[in-house]
Amino acid sequence: MISVSGLTKRYGDRTVVDDVTFTLEPGTITGFLGANGAGKSTTLRMITGLVPATAGTALIAGRRYADLPHPPAVLGALLDASAVHPGRTGRTHLRILADTIGVPARRADELLDLVGLADVAKRRVGGYSLGMRQRLGIAAALLADPPVLIFDEPANGLDPEGIRWLRGLLRERAAAGGTVLLSSHLLGEVEHTVDRLLVISKGRIRADAPIGELLHGGGTRVRAADPAALAADLRRAGLTCEPGGDGLLTVPGATPAQVGALAARHGHALIDLRPRENGLEELFFELTAA
């Protein structure tokens, strides 16, 4: 449902997004990660037509956003929760949007209830907390019930209960065949929410794969009765061996079966043998360090 090819954005001689390409399928939640200034928000704004691309294409359901016959029915986006008139009530804001995009006014009340704002619907948005404004922005994105959602930092300001609610909402949308692209700095929450990861650094995609593949594809961790002797045999076999605390060795690029077989051939007694599992924070800094 989202297809990005060669997407590039330059401001003068500065390239902020550089030849970004990816395709997102229905039924998935994709986490879009990157440090501040990595090109993440610019990419999202090019997909939604708010920023013109210097080169490349971004298609939603096979068309540019501007060419969609009824864009809100295809793509819902939350890119800036503060972009709401502070003097309007939450209900008025949603009803104006509903009228603009041609959906019944009752849809505003349905969404206020869904996002947990029914009790404050008549309060002016200027008096909302950041978390409440995030919920209002999510409601606005869902007004026309679009199959594609793009959210930039939607969990900002949400308390733990709100974050759990958001996770459930996104899971429901994906389970119904929706496509969700989620940008967030909350790495722990991303790890428990998304199916796939895109990592961008200095304007270029550094990783694009299922999250399980990225987190569990880091090699092997092994502990032997004689770690120094095992390390020597591993290196003689052409394997990289990284010593850790308490005799633990990390062998990047090797499976537990490979390490176990080598240890057996050389008569090493193993105390521990398991796949190396990266935490998302460790993986993130590793991918964005270059």
Mean pLDDT computed over 110-124: 97
**Which residues make Cβ contacts (< 8 Å) with residue 289, sequence separation at least 6?**
none
- How far is residue 158's CA from residue 135's CA, in Å, rounded to a whole number? 9
Q: Are residues 159 and 20 in the same domain?
A: yes
Q: Are 123 and 52 in contact (CB under 8 A)?
A: no
Domain end point (choices 152, 186, 214): 214
Query: For the chain, how many structural domains are there in total?
Result: 2
221: domain CATH number is 3.30.70
pLDDT in tens, 180-233: 999 988 888 888 899 999 999 999 999 999 988 787 766 898 999 999 999 999
Q: Are residues 96 and 159 in the same domain?
A: yes
Cα atoms found within 13 Å of the Cα of residue 57, Cβ hemisphere only? 11
252 has pLDDT over 90: no
Mean pLDDT computed over 250-273: 94
- How far is residue 248's CA from residue 260's CA, in Å, rounded to a whole number? 14
DSSP letter for each residue of 216-237: S-S-EEEEESSHHHHHHHHHHT
Q: Are residues 110 and 245 in the same domain?
A: no
289 has pLDDT over 80: no
pLDDT given for residue 189 in this prediction? 82
pLDDT given for residue 99 in this prediction? 96
In three-state secondary structure terms, 77 is strand
Q: Are residues 14 and 89 in the same domain?
A: yes
Per the structure, the complete domain to which residue 132 belongs is given by: 2-214
**Out of 16-30, 110-124, 164-178, 239-253, which region has the weakest mean confidence (pLDDT)?**
239-253
Domain end point (choices 190, 214, 238): 214
Q: Are residues 203 and 226 in the same domain?
A: no
Q: Are 284 and 195 in contact (CB under 8 A)?
A: no
Q: Are residues 174 and 277 in the same domain?
A: no
Q: Are 284 and 187 in contact (CB under 8 A)?
A: yes
Token representation of residue 95:
């009803």
Task: Kindly list the distances between the CA atom of residue 173 and the CA atoms of 123, 145, 166, in Å, as whole numbers in the listed order.
Answer: 28, 10, 11
Domain end point (choices 214, 239, 266): 214
Q: Are residues 143 and 245 in the same domain?
A: no
Q: Are residues 144 and 234 in the same domain?
A: no
pLDDT given for residue 187 in this prediction? 86
171 has pLDDT over 70: yes
Q: Which is more confident, 81 or 124?
A: 124
3 has pLDDT over 90: yes
Average pLDDT value over all residues in the chain? 93
